[in-house]
Amino acid sequence: MTITPEKLFVTGIGTGIGKTICSAVLTAYFKADYWKPIQSGDLKQTDSMMIKHLVEAPVVIHPERYSLELAASPHKSAAKENLTIHLEDFQLPETNNSLIVEGAGGLCVPLSDDVYIIDLIKKLGLPAVLVAKDYLGCINHTLLSLDMLRKNKIPLAYFMFNGTFDPDTYRIIAKNLEASTKILQIPHLKTINKHNLNKIVQQLTNI
């Protein structure tokens, strides 16, 4: 099977919904490079470190543009270090390989008082991957995110259902996706490790 190279920006409908696990799946599947432009908090266990730990094959991990100590929204973390994040600070890493870029939180997470994650996606010119997890309110958060992507003319390449979804929730979300968006379902992992992640990668079909 020939895998078409991809450059994708992974975002979510909120925080803590499994973007890094989903990014690891995509990085492994496409044998891609990985880049986390902004790490806000958890500097001893960063998302880049998790990708390196979970992906079976050697992966090129590009360094973060910002590594901020405070575990908070990037605009707050940066301000605590007397920094202001600007869109001009970010350039896609040079690579001939596929590239998975992972954002911070959801589309409206502020990088500064005037700049948000969605602005970074537009600046980098990448199609998006939107990750969702099933919880009370996820339909609302998903539909708002989809609407924002459409209004900003950002193509949604993949929608990732992370974990088990109530059938009624799944149906409403799926019917609001464009026909061009590929749906990926990632099973809940009781134990997150390299072996279990690799099993998911091997089972991917609609990609």
State how far the Cα of 178 lies from the Cα of 148, in Å rounded to an integer: 14
Whether 41 has a binding-site annotation, put simply, is: no
Contact 61, 33 (CB under 8 A): yes
Write down the pLDDT at residue 1: 46
Write down the pLDDT at residue 206: 60
Whether 189 has a binding-site annotation, put simply, is: yes
Which ranges of the chain have pLDDT less than 50? 1
Contact 35, 51 (CB under 8 A): no
Write down the pLDDT at residue 191: 84
How confident is the model over 124-160, as pLDDT tens digits?
999 999 999 999 999 999 999 999 999 999 999 999 9
Q: Which three-class secondary structure string do you get for the chain?
A: CCCCCCEEEEEECCCCCCHHHHHHHHHHHHCCEEECCEEECCCCCCHHHHHHHHCCCCCCEECCCEEECCCCCHHHHHHHCCCCCCHHHCCCCCCCCCEEEEEEEECCCECCCCCEHHHHHHHHCCCEEEEECCCCCHHHHHHHHHHHHHHCCCCEEEEEEECCCCHHHHHHHHHCCCCCCEEEEECCCCCCCHHHHHHHHHHCCCC
Between strands 156-162 and 99-106, the pairing is unpaired
Identified catalytic residue from 7, 31, 36, 80: 36
36 is catalytic: yes
| 27 phi/psi in degrees, rounded to 5 | -60, -45
Contact 184, 204 (CB under 8 A): yes
pTM for the structure as a whole: 0.94
Write down the pLDDT at residue 148: 98
Whether 57 has a binding-site annotation, put simply, is: no
Amino acid at 106: G
Amino acid at 23: S
Write down the pLDDT at residue 3: 59
Write down the pLDDT at residue 5: 67
Task: Give all domains of the chain, ordered by start, each with its CATH number.
Answer: 7-203 (3.40.50.300)
